[in-house]
Amino acid sequence: MNSFNRQGNSVGPWVDVEAGTASRAIFTDEEIWRVEQEKVFAKSWLFLAHETEIPEPGDHVTRQLGNDPVLVVRGEDGRIRAFHNSCVHRGVKLCRTDAGHSKNFTCPYHGWIYGLDGKLQATAYPPEVAEKIGESKSSLIEMAQVDSYAGLVFGTWDETAPALDDYLGDSRFYIDLFANRTQGGMEVLGPPQRWVFKANWKLGALNFAADGPHAASVHGPITYLTLQVPPELILQQLINSPAVVIGKGHNCIFLEYPDEAPDYAGFSPDLVPLYQQKLNAAQQRFLARGLTKVMTNFPNTSWVESSVTFDDKTPPIPFCNLRTWQPLSAQSTEVWNWLLVEKEAAEEFKQKSYEIGIRTFAAGGTFDQDDAEAWAAINLGCRGSIGSQYEVDFRATKHYRDQPIENFPGPGVAYPSTFSEMSEFALLAHWQKVMSGGES
């Protein structure tokens, strides 16, 4: 049994940083999930869309943040706004398509019409009635702040939240490695794939913060099948590659190429000069030596990039994956999964990167299929009235916490091994702080 007290308590503490443990209840308990909606999701910056999904005024996409429908629109003024996707009359879900283009939005129930700026334009009610409704003053519920970094559109419901740049902080150094590495930036290769697994959203977020050890045991065989890399070598690289606690709840790991591999081994030679133009020297080092990088931006936006081939005749091709973990309930999560590619890349390369992306990290991905299985099994192990009273173990952190890498060339505090579990556990520690109202 653990020392975490659940009696009438939903903010915790559920994480014991000193002991390197956390309560299993944080993955299963509906009351904790409910409080988390208020303390974490209503206050954080949440990823909404990539700018290239809505390039023209009037373009829009719909999203789900938890169980809330959200409409992301590019206005006539070119500005991107995000609204709660519900009519203010009776709460009907306003836009029911996944993506579209329009001059305004008409509610399917009584036909109230909203502009791209969210303002109620017309109700068809007689003028005296319209005045009582406040027709001229009404508008959709708008997200308090919407902003972009490197083409990535985020929104927050909290008007007091710090600016996006401040929120992302030093993680921008690493985001640049995924999505801000050429002058033109990235574009989406298509709309997001969506799928649901029966486990808590934090399991995905933590796994991408990231869990090094599972990559050997769970993905060792498929890594061997695709890249012909023997499991022992992957294991060694995982043990010897850094885990980075970036700060503000953002965390990542880098799986590095062995020293003998050339720089930018997995990348398209056409794009390398563009990286060298755009990135600073320290960032270039990371990109050139990184085989796989995996990161979670607090709370639920994750990244993975690697180079893989499914054909012994073609060299590995990189894919860049961006996803969110939407908390549908304590034990159910919907993944939203995008693939990005450099705008400047050749058409043939884009198609190849797309194919590799969907064969690895996507609903039909050979890597994802085993991850989700592990998380579903965690849910089964932890949801019972006995099981949920115990702990999950991050005691590996006790061995590493006093051994940060000195003079690490990137921001944050790095630890010498992905087996340290330091970056993964740091996400939970931050989550606890936010749950207790300490930080957002």
Compute the distance between CA of residue 175 and CA of residue 439 in angstroms, rounded to an integer: 22
Q: 112 or 367, CB closer to ligand FES?
A: 112
The half-sphere exposure of 312 on its side-chain side, counting CA atoms within 13 A, is 4
- Answer yes or no whether residue 6 interacts with another protein by CB under 8 A: no
Query: Rounded to 5, what percent of the chain is helix, strand, coil?
Result: 30, 30, 40
Residue 280 interface partner, choices another protein, ligand FES, Fe ion, none, CB cut-off 5-8 Å depending on type: none
The region of 53-61, 76-84, 108-116, 391-399 touching another protein under the rule CB under 8 A is 53-61
Helix (H, G, I), strand (E, B) or coil at 362: coil
- Please pick, from the candidates 256, 371, 421, 424, the single residue that binds Fe ion as defined by CB under 5 A: 371
Q: Residue 113 is encoded by which pair of tokens?
A: 């019409």
DSSP state of 163: P
- Amino acid in position 376: A
Task: Return the range that interacts with another protein (CB under 8 A); candidates 79-87, 176-184, 195-203, 275-283.
Answer: 195-203
Q: Compose the 356-395 pattern: x for residues touching another protein by CB under 8 A, - for all others.
A: --xx--xxxxx-xxx-xxx-xx-xx---------------
- Residue 368 touches Fe ion, criterion: CB under 5 A: no
Tokens 């003079």 -> residue:
407
Are 396 and 420 in contact, with CB atoms under 8 Å apart?
yes
Using CB under 6 A, which of 37, 69, 89, 436 touches ligand FES?
89
Q: Least distance (Å) from ligand FES to the CB of residue 57?
A: 24
**Cross-strand bridge partners of residue 329:** 332
Q: Which is nearer to ligand FES, 117 or 344 (CB)?
A: 117
Among 65, 82, 95, 107, binds ligand FES (CB under 6 A): 107
Which ranges of 103-200 would DSSP assign to H, the alpha helix?
127-133, 164-168, 171-179
Amino acid at 137: K
| One of 122, 133, 195, 433 touching another protein (CB under 8 A) | 195
Task: Name residues whose C-beta falls within 8 Å of residue 139's C-beta, 6 or more positions apart in sequence.
Answer: 88, 114, 117, 118, 119, 120
- Half-sphere exposure in the Cβ direction for 212 (13 Å, CA): 31
Query: Judged by CB under 8 A, does residue 11 bind another protein?
Result: no
Which one of 113-121, 287-295, 347-355, 416-424 is the stretch in contact with another protein (CB under 8 A)? Answer: 347-355
The DSSP element (H or E) to which 187 belongs, if any, is strand 186-188
- CB of 89 or CB of 350, closer to ligand FES: 89
Cα–Cα dist 248/440, whole Å: 8
Q: Which stretch binds another protein (CB under 8 A): 23-31, 33-41, 81-89, 92-100?
A: 92-100
Where along the sequence are the contacts to another protein (CB under 8 A)?
52-53, 55, 59, 96-102, 187-191, 193-198, 218, 221-222, 225-226, 310-313, 334, 351, 354-355, 358-359, 362-366, 368-370, 372-374, 376-377, 379-380
Where along the sequence are the contacts to ligand FES (CB under 6 A)?
87, 89-90, 92, 107, 109-112
